[in-house]
Structure 1
């Protein structure tokens, strides 16, 4: 199996993503370092770090970063959305739904998500896949969420909620007046004849309303779905999740193999590092290192995610180098970051990072409760 040092020695094209907290729930994934959210409070070290990582002019480009938006809706465990860009209004990539006790994660992809997800960050009720709004035994089915007449402070989509209820109120107050048949003008026989002639000459009269027709939302389904499963929750190899895409099996698992420059993390956080292994179909196939995650001590940063783009291109059967066309022009390779496999790797990485962080928080809380109980006795 290839190790991190072997992968780095092969000079693979590498993408380094810095994962930061954005408020209490949201997450930003960016290749640009944010000195203010790094470990330490020394302003001089922040300035030095900023000088080593200059900020490019295209920082706001959607293709340069990702955003994990976690909507808040009372009495509902709504899925997160992975979006392109550094804002919660970016283009949705997929929906991420955590199962009970982190046993599995359901990730739903589709280019149509931008049309079925409302400003709250959840699927519209009109676009639910099934009339009974169930998603059992169908990973591609989308669950819709209604816009309630009331709203709790802190829920997502404050302005959208007000707009929807304002339209409801306006529609309720608008009364359609029926025309009284006794008040209609009498039509003479000649006028009836003229009316009949005009109808025969023009069998398809224009619409009675000049207002444009509003498209009615239709039920939608995800184009693809990926299941990330906790392989061995009750074993010595507990930190291992697996998923499959394109006939290739992937495994997120714990590791202590870190970069030589970060040996301190190996000893201080031995149970927090993760690596992604790919196994090609076939007997005796070699395990391939695709990516690795190293957590951070900074309170506003999760850690760093490394993804070997050239390895992802090889898994897709593509050449990672530029080629010469018949006309003599140089054609650049396809952007691997825009492929569905790369999006699946990024989404499963966020599942692992979020899940591991939540487990540590619960474990720390239980230890604190146990310590308080022991001190009370």
Structure 2
């Protein structure tokens, strides 16, 4: 398998993603540097960063950033969703998910895959989440929560009414006025009378890919694998970093990751797809590098790109909009979040050990 330096020397088209904390729970993945969240930034390093990563006019373009949204629901560890754009209201990956995910960021209860709301032995099943009649401070979807409960109240009012068409019409008009709701491009939940005409259908994921822990009981514990389009992919630990980041190699030797692909066939060579280098910055996870031209080659589209006179790959088709690239980004975030959580646990254990030693 080629090393990182060998891959860079081949002038592959490289996408560099900066992974930042967004609040306590959310994450932004962007090709643009945020100087306020960089480690040890001063005026000189700021100018250097500005020269290396110039700000482009299309900074707010949805296709240029990603957002990992982690909903907050009491008594639930709701799954994260990866979205396009730099906001939590961005479009989630998967054409059908945008219709079944509510403004809280979770699957609607009415759209759960199974009546008992279980996902056991079914990788494509989606778990639904009810909207409670009560809500605690800090939970996701404050306005949506109020909206749904107002609709419930409207339903009770409608059921308790006598068959008086004048009174029913006045109640519906009043409900439509009070239940106006907007969040970005999201529409308000329909009123009770409108909801009667549309029955939500159970939803399932279009496809499911499992990220498996390959060898938990071995010396190679930091190795996870998944398979897509008959190609095997492996996320694994590495100490191979860029020459300009040698400090990370020595100060954080057990946190770097690389993604390799193994084509079908006997004796096939491993191909380097991407690499992740963590950061010491408090509000930055690290940098994720993806070789877009290698991804294009795996998709059989190596003829769609060509080197320009400046040695830069000109991509005819945006590889970032393919399902394989989405899968790479999703599995990368699973690994990055997992590595960050392991580091936090390790630091906590070291702190406990230090306190125990000092108490003696």
Do they fold alike, i.e. is TM over 0.5?
Answer: yes
Determine helix, strand or coil for the equivalent of 1:131. coil
**Residue aligning to 2:73:** 73
* 1:165 equivalent among 115, 134, 149: 149
* 1:147 equivalent among 128, 131, 146: 131
Is 1:34 the counterpart of 2:19? The answer is: no
When the two chains are superposed, the root-mean-square deviation of aligned CA atoms in Å is 1.9
Distance of 1:57 and 1:374 partners within structure 2: 55
Distance of 1:304 and 1:285 partners within structure 2: 29
TM alignment of 1:71-110, pairs within 5 A? 71-93=71-93, 110=94
> Is the contact between residue 74 and residue 152 of structure 1 (CA under 8 Å) also seen in structure 2?
yes
**Residue aligning to 1:138:** 122
Is 1:7 the counterpart of 2:7? The answer is: yes
TM alignment of 1:185-264, pairs within 5 A? 214-264=197-247
Structure 1 residue ranges without an equivalent (≥5): 94-109, 180-209, 324-330
Is 1:126 the counterpart of 2:120? The answer is: no
How far has the Cα of 1:41 moved from its partner?
A: 4.4
Deviates more, 1:5-14 or 1:345-354: 5-14
**Residue aligning to 1:335:** 318
**Residue aligning to 1:176:** 161
Could you report, residue by residue, the CA deviation over 1:237-271 in whole angstroms, capped at 9, with x for unpaired residues?
11111111111110000111111111111111111
Distance of 1:245 and 1:163 partners within structure 2: 41
Q: 1:212 to 1:369 in 2, by over 3 A?
A: closer
**Residue aligning to 2:284:** 301
Is 1:282 the counterpart of 2:282? The answer is: no
Structure 2 residue ranges without an equivalent (≥5): 165-192, 307-313
> Is the contact between residue 147 and residue 164 of structure 1 (CA under 8 Å) also seen in structure 2?
yes
**Residue aligning to 1:63:** 63
Determine helix, strand or coil for the equivalent of 1:227. coil
> Is the contact between residue 34 and residue 50 of structure 1 (CA under 8 Å) also seen in structure 2?
no
After TM superposition, the score normalised by the length of structure 2 is 0.86
After TM superposition, the score normalised by the length of structure 1 is 0.82
How far has the Cα of 1:134 moved from its partner?
A: 0.8
* 1:321 equivalent among 304, 316, 335: 304
Distance of 2:194 and 2:292 partners within structure 1: 50
> Is the contact between residue 293 and residue 305 of structure 2 (CA under 8 Å) also seen in structure 1?
no
How far has the Cα of 1:370 moved from its partner?
A: 1.9
How far has the Cα of 1:50 moved from its partner?
A: 2.9
Distance of 2:299 and 2:54 partners within structure 1: 32
> Is the contact between residue 68 and residue 83 of structure 1 (CA under 8 Å) also seen in structure 2?
yes
Determine helix, strand or coil for the equivalent of 1:289. strand
> Is the contact between residue 36 and residue 46 of structure 1 (CA under 8 Å) also seen in structure 2?
no
- Structure with higher Rg: it is 1
Q: 1:167 to 1:35 in 2, by over 3 A?
A: same
How far has the Cα of 1:51 moved from its partner?
A: 4.6
**Segments ≥4 residues shifted beyond 6 Å:** 210-213
Distance of 2:150 and 2:77 partners within structure 1: 26
Number of residue pairs matched by the alignment: 324
How far has the Cα of 1:321 moved from its partner?
A: 3.3
